[in-house]
Amino acid sequence: MYLFTGKILKNQRLTADIRYLRISAPADFCQQSAPGRFIMLSCNDGLFDPLLKRPFGILNRGENWFEVVIKEVGKGSLQLGEMKEGSLVSGHGPLGNGYPKINSDPDKDNFTPLILVAGGMGIASIASCLLFSSKAGIMANSRVLLYGAANRDELLLLDEIKECAPGIRIETITDDGSSGRQGWVTELLETELQQYPEALVFACGPEPMLINVQQVLRKFSTRGYLSLENRMACGFGVCLGCVQEVAGIDDNGTVESAKVCTQGPVFPADKVIF
Ligand SMILES: Cc1cc2nc3c(=O)[nH]c(=O)nc-3n(C[C@H](O)[C@H](O)[C@H](O)COP(=O)(O)OP(=O)(O)OC[C@H]3O[C@@H](n4cnc5c(N)ncnc54)[C@H](O)[C@@H]3O)c2cc1C
Ligand code: FES
């Protein structure tokens, strides 16, 4: 884990309350970043208000920079979203386990097609699988991205994903039907799994969506991983603020609660107890 001061290199508005930030970072931090890992961030203005850094998924990285997408929901995210290019942030990370490495060689027996499922800001975590993938290999497995949002304007990063992963099919759905199809992203998942129950599923989104994803996976006996976004105070295993009830995630099957920041945020879907 690295503690560092980074500079805002780019701050782009995606919607009225969602920002796309590129931030400078040490090369070692960038190298150790991976799809599904996250960073704790705050403004470096010396005021410590709010006191605690906030967690954000690492969307992408280069040699000396990383990117995050931030929805402004409260003081911490608003401050970060409003920062001008050239101003400084404090960061520590990369944190968490990230998505599991999977075989991306289609000629090997254990090659598994992958279905990516994102709801709302969960796209930041899920899109990292595709934006990092030119370097990390998950894209070879990815068949389809199923993406649900409140409305068409909140469907983010589609151009970036199409550019980085031109082969992937993208299915979108919104609460208000403004993207053409109205409903929940789990409806799209059910349709996919009717065809590909042997697929592996990675999902990130609000808890009600993840609960539904878990139910759909059980229905089709499909394996999957859920990336949780529990509230966090420290991000490195000390405060116990992020604990999640789970069913036996260790080798002996005995661990009944897990720190999402250090043992997650990505968990086997059948182990999470909501
Ligand atoms: C591992 C992880 C990765 C995340 N990745 C992203 C990301 O890529 N982009 C992004 O925009 N957000 C992400 N989040 C959520 C983000 O951390 C919170 O929105 C942020 O901490 C809110 O801080 P605040 O000071 O702005 O709001 P606060 O004043 O702390 O809270 C404002 C409102 O937001 C709600 N809230 C706070 N934290 C969360 C949370 N974790 N989940 C749901 N609601 C919350 C509060 O209940 C309250 O209603 C992630 C969270 C985790 C744990
Ligand atoms: S956030 Fe402190 S233990 Fe996880």
**What is the arithmetic mean of pLDDT over 48-76?**
94
Mean pLDDT, range 235-246, rounded to an integer: 95
pLDDT at 99 over 80: yes
Residue 51 lies in a domain: yes
**Ligand 2 geometric centre to CA of 270 (Å):** 22
Question: Mean pLDDT throughout 181-206?
Answer: 95
Q: Are residues 52 and 136 in the same domain?
A: no
| pLDDT of 254 higher than 80 | no
- pLDDT at residue number 169: 93
Domain hosting 48: range is 2-95
Last residue in a domain, options 95, 128, 151: 95
| pTM as predicted | 0.94
Task: Tell me 94's DSSP state.
Answer: E
Region 243-258: mean pLDDT is 80
Q: Using the 8-state DSSP alphabet, how is residue 86 labeled?
A: T
* Residue 154 falls inside a structural domain: yes
The answer on 142 and 69 residing in a single domain is: no
Domain boundary among 33, 61, 95: 95
- By most ligand atoms within 8 Å of CB, the mutation choice from 51, 92, 239 for ligand 2 is 239
Distances in Å between the alpha carbon of 147 and those of 14, 29, 47, 74, 103? 17, 29, 38, 24, 24
CATH of the domain at 52: 2.40.30.10
In a domain, 109, yes or no: no
pLDDT for residue 46:
76
Both 121 and 206 in a single domain? yes
Q: Is the peptide bond before 35 cis (omega within 30 degrees of 0)?
A: no
194 phi and psi angles, rounded to 5 deg: -60, -35
pLDDT in tens, 114-168: 899 999 999 999 999 998 865 555 666 777 999 999 999 999 999 999 988 888 8
pLDDT of residue 123: 97
How many domains, the chain? 2
Nearest ligand 1 atom, CA 96 = 1
